[in-house]
A and B are shown apart, each in its own frame.
Chain A
Amino acid sequence: EVQLVESGGGLVQPGGSLRLSCVASGFTFSNYAMSWVRQAPGKGLERVSAISDGAVDAFHADSVKGRFTISRDDSRGRLYLEMSSLTTEDTAIYYCAKEYIRRIPGTPDYNWFDSWGRGTLVTVS
């Protein structure tokens, strides 16, 4: 059974930093792209960062570019999100999500999040 368990959230002052972790189990972690998706209180979902299998490519949404860094440790089955220069706008539940990619020659890849963790709450105040 796939399990994703996030940790590292908490209360931090504006301008502060935080490091989130996600421990993965139940699948071959190194074979999958992973993402961090956040949800501000009472709001919708926003994919903030992603990293490919093998850490070849990384993506950061414009809202966090230059402040957040995603990384992974395949030997330990862990995903990380380093967050700095935090603002109140970053207050949210942060979910770790496993990405499934279906590759069909001649077309863009199909992607979806097939497993999610329970999330960790980051409060910037």
Chain B
Amino acid sequence: DIQMTQSPSSLSAPVGDRVTITCRASQSISDYVNWYQQRPGKAPKLLIYAATTLERGVPSRFSGRRSGTSFTLTITSLQPEDFATYYCQQTYNAMYTFGQGTKLE
């Protein structure tokens, strides 16, 4: 099974700050990684697919990068609506494993 190790599990930052969340895959998965945002009590929302492509309608302060088996989600200039939980997901195999989540406070 492919494991997605996400860090940190929680993160505190002020409005206007820049934050980075990392997911490391347990094996090579090319760029088969997506990122989702989940606000409390809501369904997840797609932010980035194929590691680096911004979903239509998502603000450009969100970006994704890949370096080998390490994937990062960066949010520049945090806005109040960005405080949520973020999940990475691999779709290299049928398990579609998610990371454990990062709660941004």
Contact = CB atoms under 8 A, between A and B. Distances in A.
Interface of A: 35, 37, 44-47, 50, 59, 61, 95, 100, 102, 107-108, 110-114, 116-119
Interface string B86-105: 01010110111011110000
A112 B87 contact: no
Interface in B32-83: 32, 34, 36, 42-46, 49-50, 55
Contacts of A37: 44
Interface of B: 30, 32, 34, 36, 42-46, 49-50, 55, 87, 89, 91-92, 94-96, 98-101
A117 B36 CA distance: 14
Contact of B100 (A44, A47, A50, A95): A44
Contacts of B34: 112-113
Nearest to B99: A44
Nearest to A119: B43
Given A113-B89, A116-B43, 19 more contacts: A37-B44, A44-B100, A44-B101, A45-B44, A45-B87, A45-B101, A50-B94, A50-B96, A59-B94, A61-B95, A95-B43, A108-B92, A110-B91, A111-B32, A112-B34, A113-B34, A113-B44, A114-B55, A116-B45
Given A47-B96, A61-B95, A110 B32 contact: yes
Contacts of B46: 112-114
